[in-house]
Amino acid sequence: MKLKDKILVFSSSVTTVLVVALVVFSAVGFRWFAIHQTERHVRSLAESVKVGLTESMVHGTIPKRQQFLARLALVPGIRQVRVVRGPAVISQFGPGFPAESARSETIEQVLATGKEIFEVLEIDGEVTVRGVVPYIADDQGVPDCLNQCHKVKFGAVLGAVSIDVSLADVRRQGIVGVGIVGLAVLAAAMLALLLLRRMMNPLTESAQAVQAVTSQAIGGNFAGRINQRSTDEVGDIALNINRLMEFLEREVTTIRTRVGQLIGHQVNLGHRANEDGNQLVLTTEMVESLVQASEFKKAIEEDQTKLDIYQRLADVLRRKYDFNRFSIYEVSSSKNRMTPIVIDGEFGAACRYCDPQVTLDASFCRARRTGHEVNAVGFPGLCTMFRPDAADDTHICLPITQSGTAGCVVQIVVAADEAPLARLMVPFVAVYLREAGPVLEAKRLMEHLRENALRDAMTGMYNRRFLEEYVGTLVAGSQRRKSAFSVLMLDLDFFKQVNDTHGHEVGDKVLKVLAELLMRNVRSSDMAVRYGGEEFLLVLMDTGADAAMLVAEKIRSEVEATKIPLPGGVLQKTISIGVAEYPTDSDTFWQVVKFADVAMYKAKEEGRNRVLRFVPEMWDANASY
């Protein structure tokens, strides 16, 4: 039920109760008033009867007293007037007429007490007031009944006057009066309700307008306004609500526009909630997205490697935005290649949704080349490198800008029916990518600097510092796999003579050639380190000493056969190699390195250009190595 109807029903109910109560109270009051006036009338009649009887006694007309009483009974409304003698009068004058000696319980009580009694009786279907008034002997007035008529004491009850007065006419008049009062009150109440309804119209209309405007506001539409119908409190409410709606509309639109600019989302400034969606909810979602992206940035800044950041990006795509098919490529600016990092959440997987040419030449990738979003949802076939799984698949590629160029590319693949939703999610995903860009660039720079610090500048091989940092991981991996690895210590024979004879430039060239030869003869899982000067160290993973001896012999023979061209001739060198095995020779890495070094020096002592496997007999605990 509406407020207006509730107020009218309540007012009508209250008015009805008031009218009924007023009619009831009027009827009760009228009845009380009628009875009260009738009692006064009975007292007046009784007094008239007393005076008339006393005068009849004085003038000797007392035998005709019945005619006097009969004439009184003819007065309108008087049903009966009767006089009853008391004991003192009976003893003095006798019982009198029969009616004067007839007694009733009420009359006996009045004669005995001398106090009047009034009763309301139903006689012959009419409401009648019967009053029994005592006739008390006194010497007041003229004639004096005490001295002139009766021989009794002062205050004696001479008799009682019984008068019956009908209330029929009074009742009819009362009903008419109460009816007139009720109708008048009812008419006044109806008029009051009409006036109330008229006065309520602005209030109810304003309430309905407030309901409509606030309902629209809950739905995110703040364009609703209320017509100000008056200048009172209701008008002030309408004015304030209009101001509130204007403020919300302006501020929410401003916030949404600014946040949209931050996340690169185009904001529709229309007011149609059914088309634009809930403006407040959309604004809250965009702000929440910025907050989450900021928290994401804090998290990736504390990550140790780029792979940790790529893992977080993959989790955002899968868990937050429910993208299950996606690719994350890393662009190598120096080699102009794109390396697949994460494919559908899997690290190190092969290129799946693009032509493999992009991995060889990054310029084939439109997003990498332009540095802009490639949205094939609205423009199918935009990128010629896209290779879908199904005919209705489409894609969106988002570059991650680093130093003004696309350092990474995130590719999202969706079916045609999922494309509209994916398109809406892209600006929010772009926020995460924008936050990840500088952090990825910083991580890449740090890795590059660290890589340079851990590599020998001349040969490009790892240096001894890298070995010192990596040894813990190396040993832990071997223990976890329960496999051995071999350490090869290599040293060029008579290298000092090269520098002394041909100069350091030729010596550097010899070292570079040897480094290239060593790199060709080890696997990607192995480790090649320039240990110092002309000394090199190789760690052959999951390789025992016997297999390591074969690798060492192959290296020795290739070094011996290598001819290094020089101005005016060629140069050939030999190498001595010592081999030790972890954990067979020792369960301490650096002790194994020492054993390999001992074996290498033993090879030099025995004539150089040879490979020796460490045996315990080579170790002299008192020697200084």
Q: What is the pLDDT of residues 87-104, one digit of tens each?
A: 877 777 777 777 777 778
Q: Tell me the two tokens of residue 593.
A: 């390195």
Q: Tell me the two tokens of residue 297.
A: 């940035």
Domains annotated on the chain, with CATH: 3-172 (3.30.450.20), 219-264+276-302 (no CATH), 304-451 (3.30.450.40), 462-618 (3.30.70.270)
Q: In which band, very low, low, confident or very high, does the pLDDT at 257 lie, cut at 50, 70 and 90?
A: confident
- To which residue do tokens 């100069």 refer? 503
Q: What is the pLDDT of residue 277?
A: 58
Cα gap 493→572, rounded to integer Å:
11
DSSP assigned state of 316:
I
Beta carbons of 220 and 282 less than 8 angstroms apart:
yes
Q: What is the pLDDT of residue 275?
A: 42
Average pLDDT over all residues of the chain: 84
Q: Within 13 A of 414's CA, how many CA atoms are on the CB side?
A: 23
Beta carbons of 207 and 3 less than 8 angstroms apart:
yes
Q: In which band, very low, low, confident or very high, does the pLDDT at 582 lie, cut at 50, 70 and 90?
A: very high
The three-state secondary structure class of 96 is coil
Higher pLDDT, 193 or 451: 193
Q: In which band, very low, low, confident or very high, does the pLDDT at 264 lie, cut at 50, 70 and 90?
A: low
State pTM to two decimals. Answer: 0.50
Q: What torsion do the CA atoms of 613, 617, 621, 625 make, to the nearest 10 degrees?
A: -40
Q: Within 13 A of 341's CA, how many CA atoms are on the CB side?
A: 21
DSSP 3-state percent helix, strand, coil across the chain (nearest 5) = 55, 20, 25
Instruction: Inform me whether the pLDDT recorded for 267 exceeds 60.
Output: no
Task: Report the 10 Å Cβ neighbour count for 515.
Answer: 18
Question: Per-residue pLDDT averaged across 578-586, rounded?
Answer: 95
Q: What torsion do the CA atoms of 362, 367, 368, 369 make, to the nearest 10 degrees?
A: 90
Cα 379 off chain centre by:
38
- The C-alpha angle 460, 463, 465, rounded to 5 degrees, equals 145
Q: If phi over 0 gives left and psi between -120 and 50 gives alpha, with beta otherwise, what is residue 245?
A: alpha
Q: Strand 117-123's sheet: what is its strand order?
A: 78-85, 157-166, 126-136, 117-123
Instruction: Inform me whether the pLDDT recorded for 592 exceeds 80.
Output: yes
Q: If phi over 0 gives left and psi between -120 and 50 gives alpha, with beta otherwise, what is residue 73?
A: alpha
